[in-house]
């Protein structure tokens, strides 16, 4: 697909792949489609309007985060914001302590490991959390504590979300074409984006599987 | 999603007419908004109602701005924390909406304790303050007046805006997008600074948001280790927004060497109500008085100071329909100026000097960290300005300053130089305690450390 020529809404950076970092202009329409997809995933996770959530992420990842913020806003989900680093764990701890959160999205191992220093009992706290979506590392730790979190991963320019106790990461198939190539997944945008991804190799080793008629990514 | 504005091609100096509104008219507008806000907040915010009831007044007793200043109770951070803890209310009795109506929640930096929650809501539900000076693109409570500042700094449609900041106050790139600028997303992390250099050369942005003391220190290391031409890197910038701490004189010399000395704009929180930034006159951060009623008080007595000078900043939101910060004592010690600025704007402006809790009294002499900053930075081993004043109580017999040094040094000689310099400048006795600067840096967070400590 040819890239559009309008002015970008923002410029993001992709930090994985053989020639990383990739500087990617971002268009308003593509981010809008990303937000619509994020909304569907959040609804699938069971996130409901009117109840607070915590969205942890870094400003350098706004190319992925902004659609999530936009989705939560459209869903009328009040959301707190905190950074991914252990140095900012006090902020996540405060939101976790003070609010009856329905969901914690994007939690990292750095944050998880730092929470006890801020007086939080991680096992107890997350045992009662209705929705958790964790980054790799945090996901394994939460599983070991008996939680059933979703897992989020980056597949280059897009998120993949793996439901609890299910195999394979969901991704936006309307927007992205993923192809297997000698054990790696190549990424192409199906619809026009300001940065054209043509069979780009981000070093993702995996294959495509089908679960209930739905394509998913299985990392290998 | 917010749309870019198409009307911002003109080269007028001011973005909005309210910026230069004659002061008498500005105060009338402020009073109208204040009276509306007081009724709104008293009806909805339990902490506001409790404090006002305890003072024996209601908004019906307030008929003017003057009444408010004479009679309204102050709201302190302690009041907020007490309400939050005793009532187990995350919003500390300040929320004027149902919690489900809040759109997003940010928080204070947490320098003086646990961060406190600040709530935002798209739109103006319930309060419905009317223009001038308010736009419908985002909550007026949220960096609502920053586009005025960015416009004054020179940000224009199609410019690139380097977004190198922590994601704790929300999507702070959006006011720049309102002007048609295009943010470049980076993480506030040392690892992204090399990328910031590369992207500065590639995209030639006009604004760097935000520069902090740790960032300058990291840039100095990059300049040294990678032989980067910082003058070239910064050549396109019309504005480098500086935040976190006051820019020390030594650090300023580096930015001047990089060619942006005259394009550094200080940014400060306007008491958790909004942000305040310098104009091109660089005579203080503009406190937009159509979005906040701003007062200056004596931090000891609470007496209102109407003249220019030093005191504690007190703010009242006039436009936030979510959080009712009414007569909030910020704890920020500022140097306030009320007259018309050289830029032509009629709103007050202030220089942040520190926290009221930083002030040390020796006899009748008031000393703040900023008073010794330059003296410490002048010593080469202390050029990073890493120091803390030891303040077990406000009244002291002498200054006790813990000074961080870098590298190897003749400590006895350094101690003698610092002692002589500070005693000569301030005429006060001083005890200098030298420590490796990493020890002080380790006491702080990612943005700053406390400039005063009890021991």
For B389-402, the DSSP string reads EE-SSSB-SSEEEE
Q: Does residue B347 register a pLDDT over 80?
A: yes
Identify the CATH class of A10-166: alpha beta
Is residue B3 scored above 80 in pLDDT?
no
Residues of chain A with Cβ-Cβ distance to B114 below 8 Å are 90, 94
Q: For residues B125-134, b (16+ Cβ closer than 10 Å) or e, as one string?
A: eebebeeebb
CB atoms under 10 Å from CB of A50, counted, come to 14
Nearest to A70 among B1, B168, B183 (CB): B1
Which of A75-84, B38-47, B113-122, B326-335 has the weakest average pLDDT?
B113-122
Q: Are strands A53-56 and A103-107 parallel, antiparallel or unpaired?
A: parallel
Lowest mean pLDDT among A85-89, B93-97, B390-394: A85-89
| pLDDT digit string, tens, across residues B409-419 | 899 999 999 99
Coil vs helix vs strand at B384: coil
Query: Across the interface, which of A7, A72, A80 has its CB nearest the CB of B182?
Result: A7
Q: How far apart are CA A151 and CA A45, in angstroms?
A: 11
pLDDT in tens, B188-239: 888 899 999 999 999 999 999 999 888 998 999 999 999 999 999 999 999 9
Cis peptide bond N-terminal to B210, omega within 30? yes
> What is the nearest CA distance from A95 to chain B, expressed in angstroms?
8
H/E stretch holding B378: none
Chain B, nearest residue to A28 by Cα:
B1
| Candidates B185, B322, B444, partner chain A, best to mutate (most A CBs within 10 A) | B185
What was the ipTM of the complex prediction? 0.94
Q: Is residue B388 a contact partner of residue B401, using CB atoms and an 8 Å limit?
A: yes
Q: What is the pLDDT of residues A186-218, one digit of tens each?
A: 999 999 999 999 999 999 999 999 999 899 999
* Residues of chain A positioned with their CB less than 8 A from the CB of B192: 60
Neighbours of B99 (CB within 10 A): 17
Higher-scoring residue by pLDDT: B408, B21: B21
The verdict on a CB contact (< 8 Å) between B185 and A32 is no
CB-based contact B397:B351 (threshold 8 Å): no
Cβ count within 10 A of residue A20: 12
Whether B187 has its CB under 8 Å from any CB of chain A: the answer is yes
B contact residues 237-276, partner A, Cβ 8 Å cutoff: none
Contact state of A90 with B102 under an 8 Å Cβ cutoff: no
Specify whether the CB–CB gap between B175 and B146 falls below 8 A: yes
Question: What element of type H or E holds B188?
Answer: none
pLDDT of amino acid B4: 45
Cβ(B188)–Cβ(B163) below 8 Å: no
CA distance B364 to B378: 27
Residue B301 and residue B308: Cα distance in Å, rounded? 17
Q: Which chain B positions have a beta carbon within 8 Å of A6's beta carbon? A: none
Cβ contact (<8 Å) for B195 and A21? yes
Cα separation, A1 vs A187, whole angstroms: 13
CA A85/CA B108 separation, integer angstroms: 17
- Say yes or no for a CB contact (<8 Å) between A69 and B104: yes
Angle at B400 between CA B440 and CA B329, to 5 degrees: 75
Closest residue to B105, CB basis, from A23, A51, A79:
A79
Whole-number percent of chain B with pLDDT over 70: 95
- The residues spanned by each domain of chain A are 10-166
In chain A, the residue whose alpha carbon lies closest to the alpha carbon of B173 is A10
In chain B, which residues fall in CATH 3.40.50.12780?
1-356
Q: How far is A157 from chain B (nearest CA, A)?
A: 14
CA distance B384 to B437: 9
Asked if A117 is an interface residue toward chain B (Cβ–Cβ < 8 A), one would say no
Q: State pLDDT tens for residues A163-187.
A: 999 999 999 999 999 999 999 999 9
- Strands B328-337 and B309-317 come out as antiparallel
* Class of CATH domain B1-356: alpha beta
Q: What is the second-level CATH architecture of the domain B359-453?
A: 2-Layer Sandwich (3.30)
Asked if B182's CB is within 8 angstroms of A59's CB, the reply is: no
């Amino acid at each position: 697909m040819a890239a559009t020529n309008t002015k970008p809404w923002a410029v993001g950076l992709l930090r994985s792949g053989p020639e990383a970092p990739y500087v990617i202009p971002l268009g308003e329409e593509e981010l809008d489609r990303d937000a619509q997809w994020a909304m569907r995933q959040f609804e699938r996770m069971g996130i409901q309007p009117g109840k607070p959530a915590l969205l942890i992420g870094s400003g350098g990842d706004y190319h992925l985060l902004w659609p999530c913020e936009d989705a939560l806003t459209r869903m009328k989900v009040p959301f707190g914001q905190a950074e991914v680093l252990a140095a900012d764990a006090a902020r996540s701890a405060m939101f976790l302590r003070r609010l009856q959160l329905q969901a914690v999205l994007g939690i990292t191992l750095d944050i998880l490991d730092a929470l006890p220093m801020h007086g939080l009992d991680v096992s107890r706290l997350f045992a009662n959390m209705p929705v958790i979506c964790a980054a790799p590392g945090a996901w394994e730790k939460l599983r070991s504590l008996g939680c059933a979190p979703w897992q989020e991963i980056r597949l280059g320019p897009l998120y993949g979300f793996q439901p609890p106790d299910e195999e394979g990461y969901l991704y936006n198939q309307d927007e992205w074409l993923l192809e297997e190539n000698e054990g790696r997944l190549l990424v192409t945008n199906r619809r026009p984006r300001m940065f054209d991804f043509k069979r780009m190799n981000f070093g993702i080793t995996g294959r495509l599987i089908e679960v209930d008629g739905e394509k998913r990514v299985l990392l290998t | 999603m917010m749309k870019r504005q198409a009307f911002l091609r003109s080269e007028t100096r001011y973005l909005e007419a309210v910026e230069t509104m004659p002061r008498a008219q500005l105060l009338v507008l402020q009073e109208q908004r204040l009276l509306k806000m007081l009724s709104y907040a008293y009806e909805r915010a339990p902490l506001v109602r409790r404090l006002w009831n305890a003072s024996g007044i209601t908004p019906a007793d307030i008929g003017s701005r003057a009444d408010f200043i004479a009679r309204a109770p102050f709201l302190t951070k302690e009041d907020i924390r007490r309400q939050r803890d005793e009532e187990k209310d995350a919003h500390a009795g300040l929320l004027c909406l149902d919690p489900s109506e809040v759109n997003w929640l940010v928080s204070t930096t947490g320098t003086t304790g646990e961060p406190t929650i600040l709530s935002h809501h798209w739109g103006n539900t319930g309060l419905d303050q009317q223009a001038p000076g308010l736009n419908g693109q985002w909550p007026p409570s949220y960096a609502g007046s920053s586009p005025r500042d960015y416009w004054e700094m020179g940000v224009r449609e199609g410019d690139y805006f380097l977004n190198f900041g922590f994601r704790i106050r929300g999507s702070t790139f959006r006011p720049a997008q309102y002007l048609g600028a295009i943010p470049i997303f980076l993480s506030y992390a040392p690892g992204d600074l090399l990328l910031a250099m590369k992207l500065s050369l590639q995209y030639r942005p006009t604004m760097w948001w935000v520069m902090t003391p740790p960032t300058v220190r990291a840039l100095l290391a990059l300049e040294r280790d990678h032989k980067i031409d910082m003058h070239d890197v910064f050549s396109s910038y019309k504005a480098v927004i500086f935040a976190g701490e006051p820019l020390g004189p030594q650090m300023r010399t580096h930015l001047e060497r990089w060619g942006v000395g005259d394009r550094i704009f200080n940014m400060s929180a306007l008491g958790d109500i909004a942000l305040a930034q310098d104009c091109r006159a660089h005579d203080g951060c503009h406190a937009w008085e159509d979005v906040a009623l701003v007062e200056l008080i004596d931090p000891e007595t609470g007496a209102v100071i109407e003249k220019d000078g030093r005191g504690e900043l007190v703010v009242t939101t006039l436009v936030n329909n979510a959080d009712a910060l009414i007569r909030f004592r910020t704890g920020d010690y500022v140097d306030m100026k009320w007259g018309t600025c050289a830029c032509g704007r009629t709103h007050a402006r202030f220089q942040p000097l520190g926290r009221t809790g930083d002030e040390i009294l020796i006899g009748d002499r008031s000393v703040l960290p900023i008073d010794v900053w330059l003296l410490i930075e002048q010593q080469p081993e202390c050029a990073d300005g890493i120091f803390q004043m030891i303040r077990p109580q406000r009244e002291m017999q002498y200054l006790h300053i813990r000074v961080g040094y870098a590298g190897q040094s003749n400590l006895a000689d350094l101690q003698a130089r610092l002692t002589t310099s500070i005693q000569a400048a301030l005429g006060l006795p001083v005890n200098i305690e030298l420590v490796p600067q990493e020890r002080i840096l380790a006491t702080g967070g990612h943005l700053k450390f406390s400039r005063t400590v009890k021991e």
